[in-house]
Structure 1
Amino acid sequence: MLRSVVRGNGVAGANMLEVAVCSDSELFRAGILQYINSQPGGAVLVEAGGNLFELVETLKPAAVVIDGHTHFGQLAEFVGAPQAGGTPTPPMVVVGLPTAIDAAVTLLCGPVRGLLPADCRPPDFHAAVRAAVSGDYYLSAKVFGPLLAKLNDVTLVPQNGAGLTGREAEILGKLAEGRSSADIAALLSLSKRTVGFHISNILAKLGASSRAQAVAYAYQSGLLRPPTGLGKP
């Protein structure tokens, strides 16, 4: 059921946000509302529960905060479903979710831009929402650490179905390890400019708009393969 719009105590402007909260928990919604409205400049919070599809279609918020404990299944369904009428999908921040690598990668391949544990600090939450609205990603240390540790063990599948060159496939593997362009350049004895050129080609060939999406797509499509049992919580 959609609920009323609650306006913060700030002055409308560039720093104002319109955030929808998708949760069945009144305590969760109240906590998010209290924090957002306590921030300098205020905020606009659209408080909602129930159906994520209805929320996005009807309210068209700038961002959605999702309770991973009550709506994780619905979120996974949303990520895999085409949106009717070409409705733009807002960036999403998930608070509280399983740490299984397959679940995390699938979410990051879709509209999810922030992954936070249920006990995240308020500043982390605020940073995640701002990053999501800006088109960036935000992973808390508690989420990123285990995720990176598991991705470090990802290996490339010999069959190359995306038209990547051998060097591009190698660099994609390094991206999956969380390596920066400078790290990759040093490891492969290449210039940073050459690495950047290869990464641009990888994104174009995979149809990805970011490194995270490229790794997520490659993992899902089989270009990257996790070790046996990686997807288990």
Structure 2
Amino acid sequence: MIRVLLVDDQPLLLSGFAMILSTEDDIEVVGQARDGREGVAAVAELEPDVVLMDVQMPVLDGIEATRAIAWRTKVVILTTFDRDDYLFDALAAGASGFLLKNADPDDLVDAVRTVASGHALLAPEVTSRVISRMAEGRAGGSIRHDASLERLTAREREVLELVARGLSNAEIAAEMFVGDATVKTHVSNVLAKLHLRDRVQAVVFAYEAGLVRPAP
């Protein structure tokens, strides 16, 4: 059973999300919170497997709440995407992924299962938009090369670039003409060498390091 905590300051959304998730046999909504501070306290009390977290909330916003709990549970950010910087900061704070609030109900269910199984929830086209807008606000619009890339082999760098472009392990295997197990090993090596938790952090790192450039 996947235990889920919902954190959002809009009661209607809380009820809607709870109703959608409660119809699934393998998902249990164990609690709801109306702001980040309540959410942090509820995580300590209820020990959920996954937290669905809004970004903009009173008392304590979703970014700070995520930073406080990401070490002990998986967090999926739910956002209307009206503030890209909030979303980017939330990923940097330790969120395992994000989902737009206008997503289909099936996407919400899939997000919970994906993150609970230990995988990052990554929408490549949305990630690119986030990082692209963040890059526009940086001095000179440029991203400096990160020396830590030198820890990677040529193959690992290639895998990191393909991950950052949103390809799955199967798609990377087809692109590189290798087996899925080989790709999985490369991805694990990349995460270990760069001290990254998951594919979400790998994507953010690849853009910030200059390995991949935001689309114009």
User: Structure 2-normalised TM-score?
Assistant: 0.69
Matches of 1:40 and 1:198, distance apart in 2? 35
Which residue in 2 is equivalent to 1:133? 116
- Name the SS of the counterpart of 1:57 in structure 2: helix
- Name the SS of the counterpart of 1:129 in structure 2: helix
**Offset, 1:225:** 6.6
Provide closer, same or farther for how the CA distance between residues 226 and 198 of structure 1 changes in structure 2, counting only shifts above 3 A.
same
**Offset, 1:176:** 1.4
Q: Which one of 175, 195, 200 corresponds to residue 163 of structure 2? A: 175
Which residue in 2 is equivalent to 1:146? 126
Which residue in 2 is equivalent to 1:38? 23
Provide closer, same or farther for how the CA distance between residues 30 and 150 of structure 1 changes in structure 2, counting only shifts above 3 A.
closer
Mapped pair 1:216 → 2:201? no
Matches of 1:217 and 1:37, distance apart in 2? 36
Q: Highest CA radius of gyration, 1 or 2?
A: 1
Gaps of 5+ in 2: 136-141
Matches of 1:191 and 1:38, distance apart in 2? 40
1:112-141 Cα deviation digits (max 9, x unpaired): 2342222222111111112222212334xx
Gaps of 5+ in 1: 1-14
Quote the RMSD (CA, aligned, Å): 4.0
Mapped pair 1:118 → 2:105? no
Matches of 1:40 and 1:171, distance apart in 2? 36
Q: Which has the higher helix share?
A: 2
Percentage of pairs with the same residue: 26
Q: Paired residues, what number?
A: 205
User: Structure 1-normalised TM-score?
Assistant: 0.65
| Aligned amino acid, residue 145 of structure 1 | E
Mapped pair 1:49 → 2:29? no
